[in-house]
C-alpha cells in the first residue's frame, strides 16, 4: 500500500514541477482533494470501473490476510502438546489438542491420528491428502486477486484508447487541430491509465504479501507433518 502511494506521489510531484507558476496553488490542496479532482477529470465511466476493481481486489486481499492470520499458529507449542500426549499413549488427548487449534497443521495431524490403527502408510496418505486440501483452502481467492490485478490496468488502457478516439472526434468536428482540444483530451485519456496502474500496483503488493504468507504456512505444514509421523513411530503409536 505504501509503495503504491509513494510511486503515485512521485508521479504527481513531477507533473507539478513542469506546470506553470499559476498552477502551483494546487499544491496546497490535500492529497484526497487532488485525487478526487483527477478522478473526476478522468471521467466517471472507466474511472469508476477501475475503482470498483480496486475495491473488490482489496476486499479479497483483506479476506485472505484475515484467514491466513487465523491459520497461523505456534507450531512448536502445538507439536510439543501433541507429543506429550503421545508419549503417555493418550491418542484421544492428542486429538483434543488438535481440535482446539484452528490451524491447518492441527487439522492435518487430527486426520492422521484418526488413522493410527490402520498403520503408518494410511497415516502418511491421510496427511498428504489432507495437506493438499488445506493448501487449496489457503490459496482460495488468489485467482480473483490476480484477475483484478490484470483487469485494473486493462480498464485504464481501454479508457485511454476511448479517450483518444473522442479527442480525435473533437478535432474532426472542429475541422482543425486545436492544441487545447488535443491536450485536454489526451490528459483525460491518460488519467485512466495512471489510476489503473496505481490500482494494479497496490493489489500486486498485497498479492505478493499473501503469497509469502501462504508459502510460510505451507513450509510449516510440510515440516510439521514429517515431525508428526516420526513422533507416532517413536512413541509406538503406529507401526511401520
Q: What is the pLDDT of residues 89-133, one digit of tens each?
A: 888 998 999 988 888 999 999 999 988 888 888 888 999 899 889
pLDDT value for 201: 94
- Collect contacts of 28-37 with beta carbons under 8 A, ≥24 apart: none
Low-confidence residues of the chain: pLDDT under 70: 1-46, 170, 174-185, 187-188, 239-240
pLDDT of residue 35: 55
Instruction: Cell numbers for 29, please give them.
Output: 490542496
Burial of 168 (0-12, 13-18, 19+ CB in 10 A): middle
What does the alpha-carbon distance between residue 10 and residue 12 come to, in Å, rounded to a whole number?
Answer: 5
Which residues lie closer than 8 Å to 163 by C-beta, 6 or more apart? 43, 185, 186, 188, 189, 190, 192
Q: Report the distance separating Cα 168 and Cα 229, nearest Å.
A: 70
Amino acid at each position: 500500500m505504501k509503495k503504491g502511494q509513494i510511486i503515485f506521489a512521485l508521479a504527481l510531484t513531477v507533473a507539478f514541477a513542469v506546470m506553470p507558476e499559476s498552477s502551483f496553488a494546487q499544491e496546497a490542496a490535500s492529497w484526497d482533494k487532488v485525487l478526487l479532482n483527477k478522478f473526476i477529470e478522468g471521467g466517471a465511466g472507466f474511472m469508476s470501473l477501475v475503482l470498483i476493481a480496486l475495491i473488490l481486489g482489496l476486499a479479497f486481499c483483506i479476506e485472505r490476510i484475515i484467514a491466513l492470520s487465523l491459520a497461523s499458529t505456534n507450531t512448536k507449542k502445538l507439536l510439543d502438546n501433541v507429543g506429550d500426549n503421545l508419549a503417555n499413549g493418550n491418542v484421544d488427548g492428542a486429538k483434543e489438542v488438535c481440535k482446539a487449534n484452528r490451524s491447518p497443521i492441527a487439522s492435518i495431524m487430527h486426520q492422521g491420528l484418526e488413522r493410527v490403527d490402520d498403520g503408518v502408510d494410511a497415516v502418511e496418505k491421510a496427511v498428504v491428502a489432507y495437506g493438499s486440501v488445506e493448501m487449496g483452502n489457503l490459496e482460495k481467492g488468489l485467482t480473483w486477486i490476480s484477475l483484478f490485478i490484470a483487469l485494473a490496468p486493462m480498464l485504464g488502457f481501454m479508457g485511454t484508447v476511448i479517450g483518444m478516439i473522442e479527442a480525435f472526434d473533437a478535432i474532426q468536428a472542429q475541422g482543425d487541430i486545436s492544441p487545447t482540444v488535443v491536450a485536454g483530451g489526451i490528459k483525460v485519456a491518460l488519467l485512466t491509465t495512471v489510476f489503473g496502474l496505481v490500482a494494479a500496483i497496490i493489489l500486486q503488493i498485497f498479492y505478493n504479501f499473501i503469497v509469502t504468507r501462504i508459502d510460510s504456512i505451507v513450509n510449516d505444514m510440510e515440516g510439521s507433518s514429517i515431525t508428526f509421523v516420526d513422533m507416532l513411530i517413536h512413541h509406538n503409536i503406529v507401526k511401520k
